[in-house]
Structure formats: structure tokens, C-alpha cells
């Protein structure tokens, strides 16, 4: 019975996302969260959320809320947590005490000034930075003296001075570190807070984390963690360090490339389902061609084996393209629902609010065809709302001369006036033959009408646009165009 239970718990996948609230989560952070979440869901495991808030000086107000909001926005629901490390200090202290007792750690009394001048000196001599282990071998008397002086010590780990530390990374295979390159890193700071290394492994142990899937930048911390697990007599989890994300210029992804807070993508009108699909492809692929995958398909097929070893490249154009595909995949009602807040917010203030929702619903399918983000919708559809179009008269004359433009617009007004059935098909049935009568190529004639009714040369299909605008508005706009030409 016990054995069966053990086997089950061994197979149980428990992963965590462990952000530090020292800033708003960006694309890379959320990609890590997403890989963990998908891995948990694929394996019917647990996804645990842990806020690593022990670096008090670097905490950013509100960051935790933004982290939670970003996860919710993408639908990355957690099964346990959020745990806050700041509420678990006792546990880390206990672990540090244990290591002190076993003489696997020691108290260090060096002042920040001393450490600083040591660092300067090392830099000057081009030596690798690291603590010089001055307090590692203090005698009992020296220690008592330090204690008596009232200095609050930090606790440092006694890294082995020689030998190697190795572990298996599920993506990179055997990783070997020379112990001589590791310094005696701090476990407990003088403010009583643990460092990342200590808190991270105590929690991964207590939370029974089976797999640590995290960014590549943490690989250099892994040997320290393995040594700590060994010192505490605990079984380490399996590690998988995820490939780096590079910008289009192949340098490390930064703000410059669009690695801004994930909530900004939300504000720019990206759909969470598109973002989800896009993010999973930053390092994972189903095969060498499939780009569009639903959440269910991703969960079903996700595996660590298909995570690439090579760095992923962030391509903003691809994200925009993908978002456009997801936008067009929405029902027109759903699209309207999502676009309305953007219209309310970003259409010029001169346009009356609240917007006429019936009218908005009519024109949304036209914007839906063209928009790559919801934030583009106001700009794409502004001409539907404004009372008077503003455009340069030159646009009306880009393909015809003035006399021809006037003649064509006058004939159009006359036809429109007598038209009863104001729908795209009958409109087309009137204006195609009119082009012929006017001896104009349809492209030229329709281009002229397009500028007159929308104020632009590129817009949704002309007759559908006219249908939505309605007869009155179209007539008014053609007359306004004539006025522009006649003066």
C-alpha cells in the first residue's frame, strides 16, 4: 500500500511559478508561467503560485496584483497559492539553523564596507567576484567576540572548495560545475530574510515540487541549489532550464523589443487566446509547421521533449498576424463586445458617447476583417462616426482630373438619391454600370467614391461600407466632396 502510494506521488507533477514582485511580469516571465501551467495540465498535475517577496528593497508596489491579473488574463489558473515567502520566514530560519548546527553553514560578521572594498579590489585585480571566506574558519573565541560586539551576522553556505557538482537538466543533459567557482553565498540576510537560494529550495522541497521549469538565466544558480539539497538531505526536483528568448536582432529580449509588461499587450488589444498560442511557440513546437493551436490542443500535445534547445526569437509581426487570425475567428458579436471598450476609449472625443451600439454592431464586421489588434479598431473605423470627414482634396484627384471628378460625383449623387434599396448588392448594381457610362475604369471611379465616403484611399469594401454608413450620410459626404472641388 505504502509502496503504491509512493509510486503515485513520484509520478505526480507539481510545478510552480515563482515570480519576484520586483517589477511587472513581462513576456519572458509569463512564458515561464505558461510552460509550467501547460505541463501541469497535460499531466493532470498541480500548478502552484508562489510569490518570492524576500528582496524587500526591490519590491515594487502593486507588482503582485499585476502578476495575478496577468495570469488570470491568460487563464493560467493556479491550484495552490499564492503563497508569500514573506509569511514563511520561520521555515527558512529553521533550515538555516539546521545547516549552522551541522556546520554546513556559518555566520559571517563582515561589514558591508569591508565587502564593498573587497569587491573593488577583486575588480581591480580582475578576479572573479565572491566572498573571500574570512569568517569561514573563525575560532570559537573570535566568534564570541564578534557576537559580543553586537554585529548582526548573515548566514553563509559552506560551499565545497573542490570537486564538482553535477545534475541532469531535462533539456540540456548533464550539467557539471566546478565547485571552486562557487563562493560561500548568503542564505540568511542580516534583516532575517532568506536569500532567493535558500527560500527557493526550502519551498520547492516543502511544496513537493517535482519539476522546476524556469528561465535559462537561473542555470548558474542550480549547482548552489543542488548543494543545498544535498546538505539538507533532500531529494532535488528535476530541472529544465527553458531556452532564452531573443529579440529579432538576436540580442537578449528587452523592453526595446516589446518585452514590456504583459498587461500592456492587453491594453494594446491583443487577445489572451492569441497571446497564449504565441507564447507557447516561444520555445515549443508541435511540429515544424503548425502555428495555430487551441489551448486544448496545446495541453494535449505539450511535452518537454519538444522544447527546443536553441533560443526562441520573438517576432512582433508574427504576434500581430496571429492576433489578427484570432480576431477574425471571433463571432461578430464577440468581436463587438471586445472592441467596444476600445472604441469608447479611443474614438475622438467629438464623437458622441455613449456610442450607438446598433450602429457599432453593423460596422464591426468590416473592422474585424482588417484589424490586427483591438486597439486598431477605433482608428480603422473612425470615419464611420465622424460628422464631417477631414481629408485633403488632393486625394479626390489622385486618379482623375477635377472636371471628371465633379462630373462623376454629381452623377453619383443623382443615382443615390433615387435609390430605394440601400444595400451593398443593389449599390454595386447601380455603380458598376455608372462607371461604364462615365467611361471610367471601375478602380478609378470606386477609388473616388471611397475617398468621398471615407476620407481615405484604403478602407473596407466600398459597397458594404456605404450600406453601413446609410444613404443620408453617403449623400452628405458626396456633396461635401463636391463642395471641396467646386470652390
Minimal distance in Å, beta carbon 220 to ligand GLU?
12
Query: Where does 149-254 have alpha helices with state H?
Result: 196-206, 222-232
Minimal distance in Å, beta carbon 35 to ligand GLU?
11
52 preceded by cis ω (within 30°)? no
CB under 6 A: which stretch of 18-26, 141-149, 232-240, 459-467 binds ligand GLU? Answer: 18-26
Q: Is 300 a catalytic residue?
A: no
Put residue 250 in one of left, alpha, beta given phi > 0 → left and psi -120 to 50 → alpha: left
Taking alpha carbons only, the member of 83, 60, 86 closest to residue 191 is 86
Interaction of residue 31 with ligand GLU, rule CB under 6 A: no
Of the residues 214, 224, 257, 372, which one makes contact with ligand GLU according to CB under 6 A: 214
Minimal distance in Å, beta carbon 201 to ligand GLU?
9
- Cα–Cα distance for residue pair 253/245, rounded to 1 Å: 6
CB under 6 A: which stretch of 14-22, 91-99, 121-129, 177-185 binds ligand GLU? Answer: 14-22
Of the residues 18, 275, 336, 347, which one makes contact with ligand GLU according to CB under 6 A: 18
- 373 close to 269: Cβ distance less than 8 angstroms: yes
Query: Where does 87-139 have alpha helices with state H?
Result: 89-101, 112-124
- Cα–Cα distance for residue pair 87/64, rounded to 1 Å: 14
Nearer of residues 200 and 277 to ligand GLU, judged by Cβ: 200
Nearer of residues 30 and 459 to ligand GLU, judged by Cβ: 30
Q: For residue 219, what is the enclosing H or E element?
A: none
- Cα–Cα distance for residue pair 93/414, rounded to 1 Å: 87
Minimal distance in Å, beta carbon 52 to ligand GLU?
4
Of the residues 19, 28, 272, 460, which one makes contact with ligand GLU according to CB under 6 A: 19
- 225 close to 157: Cβ distance less than 8 angstroms: no
Nearer of residues 196 and 284 to ligand GLU, judged by Cβ: 196
CB under 6 A: which stretch of 16-24, 56-64, 122-130, 472-480 binds ligand GLU? Answer: 16-24
- Cα–Cα distance for residue pair 50/115, rounded to 1 Å: 31
Q: Which residues pair with 108 in a beta bridge?
A: 154
Minimal distance in Å, beta carbon 63 to ligand GLU?
11
- 395 close to 426: Cβ distance less than 8 angstroms: no
Interaction of residue 20 with ligand GLU, rule CB under 6 A: yes
Interaction of residue 428 with ligand GLU, rule CB under 6 A: no
Q: Which residues contact 242 (CB under 8 A, 6 or more apart)?
A: 31, 32, 35, 171, 213, 214, 215, 216, 283, 307
Spacing of C-alpha 92 from chain mean position: 32
Minimal distance in Å, beta carbon 196 to ligand GLU?
6
Number of residues interacting with ligand GLU: please give it, by CB under 6 A. 8
- 53 close to 20: Cβ distance less than 8 angstroms: yes
Please say whether the dihedral angle defined by the alpha carbons of residues 433, 436, 437 and 440, taken in this order, is positive or negative.
Answer: positive
Taking alpha carbons only, the member of 328, 342, 412 closest to residue 382 is 342
By CB under 6 A, the residues from 37 to 96 that bind ligand GLU are: 52
Nearer of residues 52 and 184 to ligand GLU, judged by Cβ: 52
Nearer of residues 22 and 337 to ligand GLU, judged by Cβ: 22
Of the residues 73, 218, 229, 321, which one makes contact with ligand GLU according to CB under 6 A: 218
CB under 6 A: which stretch of 1-9, 13-21, 256-264, 281-289 binds ligand GLU? Answer: 13-21
Interaction of residue 408 with ligand GLU, rule CB under 6 A: no
Minimal distance in Å, beta carbon 219 to ligand GLU?
10
By CB under 6 A, the residues from 460 to 479 that bind ligand GLU are: none
- 245 close to 253: Cβ distance less than 8 angstroms: yes
CB under 6 A: which stretch of 15-23, 145-153, 265-273, 458-466 binds ligand GLU? Answer: 15-23
- Cα–Cα distance for residue pair 281/264, rounded to 1 Å: 20
Minimal distance in Å, beta carbon 91 to ligand GLU?
16
Task: Name the catalytic one among 101, 126, 255, 289.
Answer: 255
- 115 close to 132: Cβ distance less than 8 angstroms: no
- Cα–Cα distance for residue pair 215/29, rounded to 1 Å: 8
Minimal distance in Å, beta carbon 446 to ligand GLU?
56
First to last CA, the chain: 95
By CB under 6 A, the residues from 292 to 311 that bind ligand GLU are: none
Interaction of residue 205 with ligand GLU, rule CB under 6 A: no
Q: State the residues that interact with ligand GLU by CB under 6 A.
A: 18-20, 52, 196, 200, 214, 218
Residues recognised as catalytic: 255
Amino acid at each position: 500500500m505504502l509502496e503504491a502510494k509512493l509510486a503515485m506521488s513520484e509520478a505526480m507533477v507539481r510545478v510552480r511559478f515563482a515570480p519576484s514582485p520586483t517589477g511587472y511580469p513581462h513576456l519572458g516571465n509569463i512564458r515561464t508561467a505558461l510552460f509550467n501551467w501547460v505541463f501541469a495540465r497535460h499531466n493532470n498535475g498541480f500548478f502552484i503560485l508562489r510569490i518570492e517577496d524576500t528582496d524587500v528593497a526591490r519590491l515594487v508596489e502593486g507588482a503582485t496584483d499585476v502578476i495575478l491579473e496577468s495570469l488570470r488574463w491568460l487563464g493560467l489558473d493556479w491550484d495552490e497559492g499564492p503563497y508569500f515567502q514573506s509569511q514563511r520566514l520561520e521555515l527558512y530560519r529553521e533550515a538555516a539553523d539546521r545547516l549552522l548546527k551541522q556546520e554546513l553553514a556559518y555566520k559571517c560578521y563582515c561589514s558591508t564596507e569591508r565587502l564593498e572594498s573587497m569587491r573593488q579590489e577583486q575588480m581591480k585585480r580582475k578576479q572573479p567576484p565572491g566572498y573571500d571566506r574570512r569568517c569561514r574558519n573563525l575560532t570559537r573565541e573570535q566568534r564570541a567576540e564578534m557576537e559580543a560586539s553586537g554585529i548582526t551576522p548573515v548566514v553563509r553556505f559552506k560551499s565545497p572548495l573542490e570537486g564538482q557538482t553535477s545534475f541532469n537538466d531535462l533539456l540540456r543533459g548533464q550539467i557539471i560545475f566546478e565547485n571552486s567557482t562557487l563562493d560561500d553565498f548568503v542564505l540568511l540576510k542580516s534583516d532575517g530574510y532568506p536569500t532567493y537560494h535558500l527560500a527557493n529550495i526550502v519551498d520547492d522541497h516543502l511544496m513537493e515540487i517535482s519539476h522546476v521549469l524556469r528561465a535559462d538565466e537561473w542555470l548558474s544558480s542550480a549547482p548552489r541549489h543542488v548543494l543545498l539539497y544535498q546538505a539538507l538531505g533532500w531529494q532535488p526536483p528535476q530541472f529544465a532550464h527553458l531556452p532564452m528568448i531573443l529579440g529579432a536582432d538576436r540580442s537578449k529580449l528587452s523592453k526595446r523589443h516589446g518585452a514590456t509588461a504583459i498587461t500592456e499587450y492587453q491594453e494594446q488589444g491583443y487577445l489572451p487566446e492569441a497571446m497564449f498560442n504565441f507564447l507557447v511557440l516561444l520555445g515549443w513546437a508541435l511540429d515544424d509547421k503548425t502555428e495555430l493551436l487551441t489551448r486544448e490542443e496545446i495541453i494535449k500535445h505539450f511535452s518537454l521533449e519538444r522544447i527546443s534547445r536553441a533560443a526562441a526569437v520573438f517576432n512582433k509581426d508574427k504576434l500581430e498576424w496571429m492576433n489578427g487570425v484570432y480576431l477574425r475567428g471571433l463571432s461578430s458579436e464577440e468581436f463587438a463586445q471586445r472592441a467596444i471598450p476600445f472604441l469608447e476609449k479611443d474614438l475622438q472625443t467629438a464623437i458622441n458617447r455613449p456610442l450607438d451600439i446598433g450602429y457599432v454592431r453593423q460596422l464591426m464586421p468590416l473592422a474585424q476583417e482588417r484589424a490586427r489588434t483591438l486597439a486598431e479598431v477605433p482608428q480603422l473605423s473612425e470615419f464611420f462616426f465622424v460628422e464631417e470627414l477631414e481629408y485633403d482634396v488632393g486625394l479626390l484627384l489622385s486618379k482623375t482630373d477635377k472636371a471628371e471628378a465633379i462630373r462623376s460625383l454629381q452623377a453619383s449623387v443623382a443615382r443615390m438619391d433615387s435609390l430605394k434599396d440601400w444595400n451593398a448588392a443593389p449599390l454595386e448594381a447601380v455603380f458598376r454600370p455608372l462607371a461604364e457610362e462615365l467611361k471610367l475604369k471601375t478602380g478609378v471611379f470606386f477609388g473616388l467614391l471611397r475617398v468621398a465616403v471615407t476620407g481615405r484611399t484604403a478602407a473596407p469594401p466600398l459597397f458594404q461600407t456605404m450600406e453601413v454608413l446609410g444613404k443620408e450620410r453617403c449623400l452628405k459626404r458626396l456633396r461635401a466632396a463636391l463642395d471641396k472641388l467646386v470652390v
